[in-house]
Structure 1
Amino acid sequence: MHKINEMMDRPVVIEEVRDFLRTAQKQLDGKLGTIEKEANEKRVPIIPHETVAFFVWLFGQIKPKEILEIGTAIGFSAGLMAQHMEKNGKITTIDRNPVMLEKAKVNFKTLGIEDRITLLEGQADEWLAKLEKNRYDFIFMDSAKAKYYDFFPDCMRVLKDGGVLAVDDVLQGGTILEDVKDIPRRRRKIHKKLNAFLEIVLDHPALETTLLPLGDGLLLITKKETADFSFMKEVEAQ
């Protein structure tokens, strides 16, 4: 069983615009299109189609060869990226959920991309600490939202200068703007950590950042130059 994301039905744009973005843009065909359709029918959380269309366009511009994904889920987004990245490109993807991992393995085999995917099973923070510095052209982070803050320093360490980090679901259905006292207790940690994360990255001199109202908010960060973000780990350790 997968846990339904309660933010799936809280679009950050009006529903008519959201539906237009999801239906009017070019649809996926073939095996990947089938995976997307079945996931949406079964309410399995995957990136929404407006983000799919954006990634297809983005990859045509930046042409990544080495991709890191944090949050494999059923492997849909990795399948999409593999289809639109450079021909001989490689993807490293991390997840700890055994149910999702089994589904991802099946989907990678169905899509015929097993030889291009390195699947790392376990805790993302442990794997991130082991990865090579300045290796990746593109990183897609779509994991536990409260962990974005914690994972960010290592993401910047392994991302090449000029590389792009895309972070999904940062607006929390718009509740990110609310006062923390108005947030249900079960979601306050996510609320606090996401706000702390955004406060650092939106105006940092070493980063070029833009926030797009796709899905539940897609944050794009270009690493203009190397900077030290180890202070974020120090804050977390306190």
Structure 2
Amino acid sequence: MRNEMMSRPVINEKVLQYLRQQPVPLSPKLRGIEEFANEKRIPIIPHETVSYLYQLVNQLRPTKILEVGTAIGFSAALFVEASQQQTRVTTIDRFEEMYQRAQTNWQSLGYQSQIQLLTGDAADILPMLTGQYELIFLDAAKAQYINFLPEALRLLAPEGVLLIDDVLQGGTIFEPIESIRHRDKGIHRHLNQLLDTVYADDELLTTLLPLGDGLLKITRREIQK
């Protein structure tokens, strides 16, 4: 489950180290989970993304958040803390080893009642969801983002924010596909298709933030009538 792109920052190394020293008011237990994951190379969002998401959620105070890609439950717990425990998170994952760790972590934090875990393939689960979410966070199989996009937009509240993590593959998605390893060509094609799709959609406002391996932020454009 290790992600080699964790070691391929897309910004200057000195800037990156500074960003990763930013203070974030996490609880001691959640900070301990972050430190453990980083020490063991368990793929969670990097600290610069932690800082950004904490501020965003604290500002927006969404009541409902949808996450695709639970891993060990760190980001779901982060959303709970950043909202001052006012949000409810629905998170989807299909890897039992990971979501079992997540449940243990949530229990130790006391957040299990605020986080709903749905186990299985997101491609099967997303079409069955109803309602709207003020924040949606995609952090799962990169090649599937383009397939998750229509459902994510369907579930996104009118003034909601869609975040899609790790879209740059260490910057290699801008290289010619002929230079990409065979096993990564599918990810390369699908991430480029994702970027082309969201930037070409006149109903969306899209920006690419150089956090971690690239964080795509999407909102709906307010069109004057």
- After TM superposition, the score normalised by the length of structure 2 is 0.95
Q: Tell whether the 8 Å contact from 1:73 to 1:101 is kept in structure 2 after alignment.
A: yes
Query: What's the counterpart of residue 171 of structure 1?
Result: 168
Q: Tell whether the 8 Å contact from 2:58 to 2:84 is kept in structure 1 after alignment.
A: no
Q: Which amino acid aligns with 1:91?
A: V
Q: Sequence identity of aligned pairs in percent?
A: 49
Matches of 2:83 and 2:220, distance apart in 1: 19
Secondary structure of the residue that 2:18 maps to in structure 1?
A: helix
> What displacement does 1:63 show?
1.5
Query: What's the counterpart of residue 30 of structure 1?
Result: 28
Query: What's the counterpart of residue 180 of structure 2?
Result: 183
Query: What's the counterpart of residue 78 of structure 1?
Result: 76
Matches of 1:29 and 1:201, distance apart in 2: 36
Query: What's the counterpart of residue 46 of structure 2?
Result: 48
Secondary structure of the residue that 2:20 maps to in structure 1?
A: helix
Matches of 2:141 and 2:112, distance apart in 1: 25
Matches of 2:49 and 2:10, distance apart in 1: 13
Q: Tell whether the 8 Å contact from 1:93 to 1:119 is kept in structure 2 after alignment.
A: yes
Query: What's the counterpart of residue 39 of structure 1?
Result: 37
Secondary structure of the residue that 1:83 maps to in structure 2?
A: helix
> What displacement does 1:87 show?
3.9
Query: What's the counterpart of residue 67 of structure 1?
Result: 65
Query: What's the counterpart of residue 233 of structure 1?
Result: none
> What displacement does 1:14 show?
1.4
Matches of 1:29 and 1:87, distance apart in 2: 12
> What displacement does 1:26 show?
3.5
> What displacement does 1:224 show?
3.4
Query: What's the counterpart of residue 198 of structure 1?
Result: 195
Give ranges in structure 1 of 5+ residues lacking alignment.
226-238
Matches of 1:116 and 1:67, distance apart in 2: 11
CA displacement, residues 102-143 of structure 1 (integer Å, 9 cap, x when unaligned): 10010010110111111000010111010004x100000000
> What displacement does 1:201 show?
0.4
> What displacement does 1:88 show?
3.2
**1:221-236 aligned within 5 A:** 221-224=218-221
Q: Which amino acid aligns with 1:210?
A: T
Q: Which amino acid aligns with 2:8?
A: R
Secondary structure of the residue that 1:8 maps to in structure 2?
A: helix
Moved more, 183-192 or 87-96: 87-96
Query: What's the counterpart of residue 229 of structure 1?
Result: none
**1:77-156 aligned within 5 A:** 77-85=75-83, 87-133=85-131, 135-156=132-153
> What displacement does 1:11 show?
0.3
Moved more, 124-133 or 81-90: 81-90
Q: Which amino acid aligns with 2:175?
A: E
Matches of 1:72 and 1:90, distance apart in 2: 14
Q: Which amino acid aligns with 1:78?
A: A
Secondary structure of the residue that 1:46 maps to in structure 2?
A: coil
Q: Which amino acid aligns with 1:193?
A: H
Query: What's the counterpart of residue 234 of structure 1?
Result: none
Q: Which amino acid aligns with 1:38?
A: F
Q: Tell whether the 8 Å contact from 1:156 to 1:223 is kept in structure 2 after alignment.
A: no
Matches of 1:180 and 1:106, distance apart in 2: 41
**1:199-214 aligned within 5 A:** 199-214=196-211
Q: Tell whether the 8 Å contact from 1:160 to 1:223 is kept in structure 2 after alignment.
A: no
> What displacement does 1:56 show?
1.2
